[in-house]
């Protein structure tokens, strides 16, 4: 094969890899966060993440400190004086608002507002019975010993600050995050 064809092939492969969208899976049982390439290759494994002090649940309600299972996207990335960086997830989802409404825990008006905000890609209300501000963050100036041995968050996924920096190399707005 002529040299220019090899160059063209490597250029094409490089372009495809540069545009491949990484995604993350939070394995709540193993307490790991893994970033995968679109083809399923593990790019980064972060061990010993902390979850909500209330455990993991299919439905998260304000104040129960559970980490909600589900498929999310990073909605925003914010600097945080407390946690270094906060990767805000698009919580609550429409399906969660619908379930809370069916369970009689959410009013029709609030459900409709959450659905409308999600439909236009805006942050839904964060102070309803479903709570809010679910995301991925560091421990900041928090106690590393507590992080190492306890689930301590209000429902977020936390990792030590070094791991957060490594995650930040892959994370971007729109990144898919599966919490299982």
Whether 54 is in a domain gets the answer yes
pLDDT at 18 over 50: no
Confidence of residue 1 (pLDDT cuts 50, 70, 90): low
- Residue 50: the pLDDT is 98
Does any domain span residue 152? yes
Residue 59 lies in a domain: yes
Q: Kindly tell me if the per-residue pLDDT of 143 is higher than 90.
A: yes
pLDDT at 176 over 90: yes
Which residue from 161, 155, 169, 154 is spatially nearest to 140, judged by alpha carbons?
161
The answer to whether position 9 is within a domain reads no
For 78, the 3-state DSSP assignment is: strand
pTM: 0.87
On whether residue 3 sits in a domain, the answer given is no
Whether residue 74 lies inside any domain: the answer is: yes
Mean pLDDT for the chain overall: 92
Query: How many Å apart are CA 60 and CA 78, to the nearest integer?
Result: 22
Least Cα distance to 172 among 91, 81, 75 occurs for: 75
User: Is the residue at 82 inside a domain?
Assistant: yes
Q: In total, how many domains does the chain have?
A: 1
* Residue 137: closest CA among 55, 59, 76: 76
Write down the pLDDT at residue 16: 46
Q: Residue 81 pLDDT more than 80? A: yes
Structural domain of 153:
49-91+132-179
CATH number at residue 161: 2.40.440.10
Which among 47, 64, 31 has a CA at the least distance from the CA of 166? 47
| Residue 156 pLDDT class (50, 70, 90 cuts) | very high
DSSP 91-139: -S-HHHHHHHHHTTSS-HHHHHHHHHHHHTT-PPPSSSTT----EEE--
3-state secondary structure of 3: helix
Instruction: Please answer whether residues 160 and 33 qualify as being in contact, where contact means their C-beta atoms are separated by less than 8 angstroms.
Output: no
Residue 108 lies in a domain: no
């Amino acid at each position: 094969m002529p040299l220019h064809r090899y160059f063209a092939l490597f250029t094409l492969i490089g372009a495809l890899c540069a545009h491949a969208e990484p995604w993350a899976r939070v394995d709540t049982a193993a307490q790991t966060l893994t970033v995968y390439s679109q083809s399923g290759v593990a790019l980064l494994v972060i061990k010993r993440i902390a979850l909500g002090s209330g455990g993991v649940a299919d439905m998260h309600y304000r104040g129960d400190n559970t980490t909600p299972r589900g498929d999310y996207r990073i909605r925003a990335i914010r600097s945080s004086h407390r946690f270094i960086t906060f990767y805000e997830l698009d919580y609550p989802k429409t399906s969660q608002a619908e379930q809370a409404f069916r369970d009689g825990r959410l009013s029709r008006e609030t459900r409709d507002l959450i659905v409308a905000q999600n439909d236009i890609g805006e942050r839904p209300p964060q102070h309803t019975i479903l709570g809010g501000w679910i995301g991925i963050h560091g421990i900041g100036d928090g106690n590393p010993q507590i992080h190492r041995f306890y689930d301590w968050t209000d429902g977020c996924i936390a990792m030590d600050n070094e791991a957060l920096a490594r995650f930040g190399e892959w994370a971007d707005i729109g990144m898919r995050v599966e919490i299982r």
